[in-house]
Amino acid sequence: MGLGNIWKFPYLAGSEGGGAFLIIYLAMVATIGLSAMIAEIAIGRYAQLDPIGAFKKTGGGPWVIFGILAILTPFLILSFYSVVGGWTIAYIVKSFALMFGGGSGVGHEDQFNQLVSSPVEPIIYHALFMGLSMVIVLKGVTDGIEKASKILMPLV
Protein backbone atom coordinates (compact mmCIF):
# COMPACT_ATOMS: atom_id res chain seq x y z
CA MET A 1 0.00 0.00 0.00
CA GLY A 2 1.42 3.28 -1.01
CA LEU A 3 1.21 6.87 0.04
CA GLY A 4 -1.74 7.45 -2.31
CA ASN A 5 -3.79 4.94 -0.32
CA ILE A 6 -3.36 7.07 2.76
CA TRP A 7 -3.26 10.51 1.22
CA LYS A 8 -5.64 11.07 -1.68
CA PHE A 9 -7.56 7.86 -2.33
CA PRO A 10 -9.90 8.07 0.69
CA TYR A 11 -10.73 11.67 -0.16
CA LEU A 12 -11.54 10.86 -3.78
CA ALA A 13 -13.52 7.72 -2.93
CA GLY A 14 -15.60 9.65 -0.40
CA SER A 15 -16.21 12.70 -2.54
CA GLU A 16 -17.13 10.67 -5.64
CA GLY A 17 -19.41 8.18 -3.86
CA GLY A 18 -17.00 5.26 -4.19
CA GLY A 19 -18.22 3.11 -1.30
CA ALA A 20 -18.96 0.09 -3.52
CA PHE A 21 -15.60 0.44 -5.24
CA LEU A 22 -13.91 0.67 -1.84
CA ILE A 23 -15.24 -2.77 -0.83
CA ILE A 24 -13.91 -4.36 -4.04
CA TYR A 25 -10.62 -2.48 -3.71
CA LEU A 26 -10.06 -3.65 -0.12
CA ALA A 27 -10.87 -7.24 -1.12
CA MET A 28 -8.28 -7.06 -3.92
CA VAL A 29 -5.65 -5.55 -1.64
CA ALA A 30 -6.31 -8.27 0.95
CA THR A 31 -6.17 -11.17 -1.52
CA ILE A 32 -3.56 -10.10 -4.08
CA GLY A 33 -1.43 -8.04 -1.72
CA LEU A 34 -1.40 -10.67 1.01
CA SER A 35 -0.63 -13.47 -1.48
CA ALA A 36 2.27 -11.51 -3.00
CA MET A 37 3.67 -10.68 0.44
CA ILE A 38 3.51 -14.30 1.60
CA ALA A 39 5.18 -15.50 -1.61
CA GLU A 40 7.95 -12.91 -1.26
CA ILE A 41 8.61 -13.89 2.36
CA ALA A 42 8.60 -17.60 1.49
CA ILE A 43 11.07 -17.15 -1.38
CA GLY A 44 13.33 -15.01 0.79
CA ARG A 45 13.34 -17.49 3.68
CA TYR A 46 13.95 -20.43 1.38
CA ALA A 47 16.80 -18.86 -0.58
CA GLN A 48 18.46 -16.82 2.20
CA LEU A 49 19.86 -14.57 -0.58
CA ASP A 50 19.35 -11.11 -2.01
CA PRO A 51 16.33 -10.72 -4.33
CA ILE A 52 18.23 -11.44 -7.56
CA GLY A 53 19.98 -14.46 -6.04
CA ALA A 54 16.72 -15.72 -4.56
CA PHE A 55 14.94 -15.70 -7.91
CA LYS A 56 17.97 -17.31 -9.59
CA LYS A 57 17.91 -20.09 -6.98
CA THR A 58 14.16 -20.70 -7.02
CA GLY A 59 13.24 -20.21 -10.67
CA GLY A 60 16.23 -19.08 -12.66
CA GLY A 61 15.99 -17.87 -16.23
CA PRO A 62 13.38 -15.19 -16.86
CA TRP A 63 12.33 -15.12 -13.18
CA VAL A 64 15.49 -13.14 -12.37
CA ILE A 65 13.73 -10.06 -13.75
CA PHE A 66 11.47 -10.15 -10.67
CA GLY A 67 14.55 -9.97 -8.46
CA ILE A 68 15.78 -6.96 -10.42
CA LEU A 69 12.35 -5.34 -10.08
CA ALA A 70 12.39 -6.07 -6.34
CA ILE A 71 15.51 -3.90 -6.08
CA LEU A 72 14.55 -1.23 -8.63
CA THR A 73 11.02 -0.60 -7.32
CA PRO A 74 11.96 0.57 -3.81
CA PHE A 75 14.64 2.80 -5.32
CA LEU A 76 12.05 4.49 -7.55
CA ILE A 77 9.54 4.76 -4.70
CA LEU A 78 12.20 6.28 -2.43
CA SER A 79 12.78 9.05 -4.99
CA PHE A 80 9.21 10.24 -4.32
CA TYR A 81 8.82 9.38 -0.65
CA SER A 82 12.07 11.11 0.27
CA VAL A 83 10.81 14.38 -1.22
CA VAL A 84 7.56 14.09 0.73
CA GLY A 85 9.62 13.15 3.82
CA GLY A 86 11.63 16.35 3.35
CA TRP A 87 8.42 18.37 3.09
CA THR A 88 7.20 16.72 6.30
CA ILE A 89 10.36 17.71 8.15
CA ALA A 90 9.99 21.25 6.77
CA TYR A 91 6.39 21.41 8.04
CA ILE A 92 7.44 20.16 11.47
CA VAL A 93 10.17 22.81 11.68
CA LYS A 94 7.81 25.53 10.44
CA SER A 95 5.10 24.43 12.89
CA PHE A 96 7.48 24.76 15.81
CA ALA A 97 8.63 28.15 14.51
CA LEU A 98 5.01 29.36 14.42
CA MET A 99 4.25 27.82 17.81
CA PHE A 100 7.04 29.77 19.45
CA GLY A 101 6.25 33.11 17.84
CA GLY A 102 8.55 32.97 14.83
CA GLY A 103 7.45 32.81 11.22
CA SER A 104 4.52 34.41 9.53
CA GLY A 105 0.84 33.60 9.45
CA VAL A 106 0.96 32.72 5.76
CA GLY A 107 -1.69 30.22 4.60
CA HIS A 108 -0.86 26.55 4.06
CA GLU A 109 -0.92 26.77 0.27
CA ASP A 110 1.32 29.84 0.30
CA GLN A 111 3.76 28.13 2.68
CA PHE A 112 3.94 25.10 0.42
CA ASN A 113 4.47 27.26 -2.65
CA GLN A 114 7.25 29.16 -0.85
CA LEU A 115 8.88 25.89 0.14
CA VAL A 116 8.88 24.27 -3.30
CA SER A 117 9.85 27.46 -5.13
CA SER A 118 12.93 27.99 -2.95
CA PRO A 119 16.10 26.87 -4.74
CA VAL A 120 17.83 25.64 -1.57
CA GLU A 121 15.31 24.91 1.21
CA PRO A 122 13.79 21.70 -0.26
CA ILE A 123 17.27 20.31 -0.91
CA ILE A 124 18.28 20.89 2.70
CA TYR A 125 15.17 19.14 4.06
CA HIS A 126 15.52 16.31 1.54
CA ALA A 127 19.15 15.82 2.57
CA LEU A 128 18.12 15.82 6.22
CA PHE A 129 15.48 13.16 5.55
CA MET A 130 17.92 11.02 3.57
CA GLY A 131 20.56 11.39 6.30
CA LEU A 132 18.11 10.30 8.99
CA SER A 133 17.01 7.37 6.84
CA MET A 134 20.62 6.29 6.28
CA VAL A 135 21.40 6.42 10.00
CA ILE A 136 18.36 4.27 10.78
CA VAL A 137 19.16 1.71 8.08
CA LEU A 138 22.87 1.55 8.95
CA LYS A 139 22.00 0.73 12.56
CA GLY A 140 20.28 -2.44 11.33
CA VAL A 141 16.93 -4.01 12.03
CA THR A 142 16.98 -4.18 15.84
CA ASP A 143 18.84 -1.00 16.75
CA GLY A 144 17.65 1.05 13.79
CA ILE A 145 14.34 0.15 12.18
CA GLU A 146 12.67 -1.36 15.28
CA LYS A 147 13.68 1.50 17.57
CA ALA A 148 12.68 4.14 15.01
CA SER A 149 9.33 2.39 14.50
CA LYS A 150 8.65 2.35 18.24
CA ILE A 151 9.15 6.12 18.31
CA LEU A 152 7.66 7.17 14.97
CA MET A 153 4.62 4.87 14.65
CA PRO A 154 2.80 6.27 17.70
CA LEU A 155 3.29 9.77 16.25
CA VAL A 156 1.19 8.90 13.22
DSSP assignment string, 79-104: HHHHHHHHHHHHHHHHHHHHHTT-S-
> pLDDT-based confidence at 3, cuts 50/70/90?
low
Question: Do residues 86 and 128 lie in contact, with contact meaning Cβ atoms separated by under 8 Å?
Answer: yes
Q: Mean pLDDT over all residues of the chain?
A: 84
Q: Which amino acid is at 102?
A: G
User: Is pLDDT above 90 for 152?
Assistant: no
Report which of 74, 87, 79, 114 is spatially closest to residue 7, judged by C-alpha positions. 87
User: Is pLDDT above 70 for 2?
Assistant: no
Question: Is residue 17 in a domain?
Answer: no
Question: Is residue 43 in a domain?
Answer: no
Q: How far is CA 60 from CA 22, 57, 85, in A?
A: 38, 6, 37
- Which range in 13-22, 24-33, 92-101 is most confidently predicted, on average pLDDT? 24-33
Question: Is residue 117 in a domain?
Answer: yes
Question: Is residue 21 in a domain?
Answer: no
Question: Is residue 71 in a domain?
Answer: no
> pLDDT-based confidence at 7, cuts 50/70/90?
low
- Domain that includes residue 118, residue range: 79-156
Question: Is residue 10 in a domain?
Answer: no
Mean pLDDT across the stretch 13-24? 75
pTM above 0.75, yes or no: no
Mean pLDDT across the stretch 69-77? 89
pLDDT reported for residue 21: 76
User: Is pLDDT above 60 for 1?
Assistant: no
SS3 string, 32-75, reads HHHHHHHHHHHHHHHHCCCHHHHHHHHCCHHHHHHHHHHHHHHH
Total structural domains within the chain:
1
Question: Is residue 24 in a domain?
Answer: no
Question: Is residue 102 in a domain?
Answer: yes
User: Is pLDDT above 90 for 16?
Assistant: no
> pLDDT-based confidence at 37, cuts 50/70/90?
confident
